């Protein structure tokens, strides 16, 4: 039996004032489905980008950092039950048969991963996201939230958490690693915590003194303000891994020489323009430039367990459903202090 639930939708592309309350229909439970009562939903910059200019299906219900409680399960679901604390991240379906899916990297599904909102599912329906009272999701894509991790704290980890955990894990960051994190915002402050708890020596690259103490609070042992070319010179050849969490243009010819031999610079913040650098900036250290795109379901579950075990938490500001438009503008204006989370009980 389908379910009618309240939701918040963006009616018009690029217009944050077009957010309005609505009612949407959630599908009947398939045998492998899980129904979830949404308690919290994080706001990610990619939500803003989709509403602002990337989306193609309007009205749009955004939201891909979903935390809630299971209310019902399909007849074939064996590992979840009503009352369980769960989360749903960026995607809710994939083919399950291609090489990427079999490797646990569903985000790269060769037949097209189905995102939690805006995507067209295999049956032709357009997905509606987490700015709603409830959602129905295939069980494979539902994550268990450990008891010692609050639902509100878990929500941003379902995107920002796995986005930063994945590259640190993939490049074997550990006790012998010297890591630099560019930026201490919504992604960066989580990345610092993960890298520090993995045992790495962590330095934050910032642009002002204002976040030095916060960087140390999250586990960084160093904080460098890099503005002018001469600021980079003393740091050349010091880092095994640099993670860029900012969606801004960087002068890579200053940053790449900071890597050790065979060091890696990874982007999780994607600038709007093409990147450019001189090959000689990596010629002397065989440095690599790469990027990382969220993470598969198994890795996301591993990340949640790691966060719970090591008391890693995002810094969140709780807002009501009618504050979303203002929150979007604050994100664009860089006025948010780390991460917004919507209390979905305010959706009446």
**CA nearest 35: which of 126, 132, 127, 137?**
137
pLDDT at 79 over 80: yes
Interval 189-211 mean pLDDT: 97
At 153, the pLDDT band (50, 70, 90 cuts) reads very high
Interval 169-173 mean pLDDT: 98
Q: What is the DSSP string of 241-282?
A: EEEE---S---HHHHGGGEEEEEEEEESS--SSPP---THHH
**CA nearest 101: which of 138, 154, 52, 149?**
138
Kindly report, residue by residue over 244-265, the tens digit of the pLDDT: 999 999 999 999 999 999 999 9
- Token couple for 55: 């989306």
**Poorest-confidence range of 28-37, 118-127, 230-239?**
118-127
At 57, the pLDDT band (50, 70, 90 cuts) reads confident
At 227, the pLDDT band (50, 70, 90 cuts) reads very high
Contact 16, 51 (CB under 8 A): yes
CATH architecture of 3-159+295-346: Alpha-Beta Complex (3.90)
Assign a CATH topology to domain 163-291: Rossmann fold (3.40.50)
Domains 3-159+295-346 and 163-291 share a fold: no
- Helix axis angle for 162-170 and 188-197, nearest 10°, is 40
Supply the pLDDT for residue 73. Answer: 98
HSE of 181, CA atoms in CB hemisphere, 13 A: 35
pLDDT over 90, % of the chain: 92
pLDDT at 176 over 90: yes
What pairs with residue 87 in β-bridges?
Answer: 67, 143
Domains in the chain: boundaries: 3-159+295-346, 163-291
At 307, the pLDDT band (50, 70, 90 cuts) reads very high
What does pLDDT average to over the chain?
A: 96
Residue 99 CA to its chain's centroid (Å):
23
pLDDT at 56 over 80: no
Supply the pLDDT for residue 337. Answer: 87
Output 166-171 pairs: Cβ under 8 A, ≥24 positions apart.
166/292, 166/294, 166/295, 166/299, 166/303, 167/243, 167/266, 167/268, 167/290, 167/292, 168/194, 168/195, 168/198, 168/200, 168/241, 168/243, 169/299, 169/302, 170/292, 171/241, 171/264, 171/266
Interval 310-336 mean pLDDT: 96
Q: Are strands 33-43 and 66-73 parallel, antiparallel or unpaired?
A: antiparallel
| Residue 227 CA: distances (Å) to CA of 177, 209, 250, 325 | 25, 12, 11, 33
HSE of 198, CA atoms in CB hemisphere, 13 A: 25
What pairs with residue 342 in β-bridges?
Answer: 41, 319
Supply the pLDDT for residue 230. Answer: 96
Supply the pLDDT for residue 47. Answer: 94
Interval 231-241 mean pLDDT: 98
């Amino acid at each position: 039996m389908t379910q009618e639930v309240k939701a918040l939708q963006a009616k018009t592309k690029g217009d944050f004032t077009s957010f309005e309350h609505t009612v949407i229909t959630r599908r009947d439970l398939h045998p492998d489905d899980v129904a979830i009562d949404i308690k919290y939903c994080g706001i990610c910059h990619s939500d803003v980008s989709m509403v602002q200019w990337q989306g193609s299906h309007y009205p749009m219900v955004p939201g891909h950092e979903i935390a809630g409680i299971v209310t019902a399960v399909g007849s074939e679901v064996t590992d979840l039950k009503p009352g369980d604390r769960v989360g749903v991240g960026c995607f809710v379906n994939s083919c399950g048969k291609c090489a990427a899916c079999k490797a646990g990297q569903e985000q790269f599904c060769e037949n097209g991963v189905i995102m939690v909102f805006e995507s067209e599912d295999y049956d032709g329906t357009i997905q509606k996201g987490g700015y709603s009272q409830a959602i129905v999701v295939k069980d494979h894509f539902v994550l268990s939230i450990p008891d010692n991790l609050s639902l509100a704290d878990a929500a941003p980890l379902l995107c920002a958490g796995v986005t930063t955990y994945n590259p640190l894990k993939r490049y074997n960051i550990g006790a012998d690693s010297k890591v630099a994190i560019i930026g201490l915002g919504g992604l960066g402050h989580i990345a610092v915590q993960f890298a520090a708890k993995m045992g790495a020596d962590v330095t934050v690259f910032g642009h002002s003194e204002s976040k030095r103490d916060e960087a140390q609070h999250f586990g960084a042992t160093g904080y460098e303000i890099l503005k002018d070319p001469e600021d980079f010179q003393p740091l050349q050849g010091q880092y095994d891994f640099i993670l860029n969490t900012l969606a801004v243009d960087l002068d890579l010819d200053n940053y790449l020489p900071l890597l050790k031999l065979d060091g890696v610079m990874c982007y999780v913040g994607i600038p709007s323009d093409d990147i450019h650098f001189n090959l000689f900036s990596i010629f002397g250290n065989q440095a690599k430039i790469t990027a990382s795109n969220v993470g598969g379901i198994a890795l996301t579950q591993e990340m949640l367990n790691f966060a719970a075990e090591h008391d890693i938490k995002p810094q969140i500001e709780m807002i009501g459903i009618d504050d979303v438009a203002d929150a979007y503008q604050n994100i664009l204006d860089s006025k948010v202090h780390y991460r917004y989370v919507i209390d979905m009980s305010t959706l009446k």
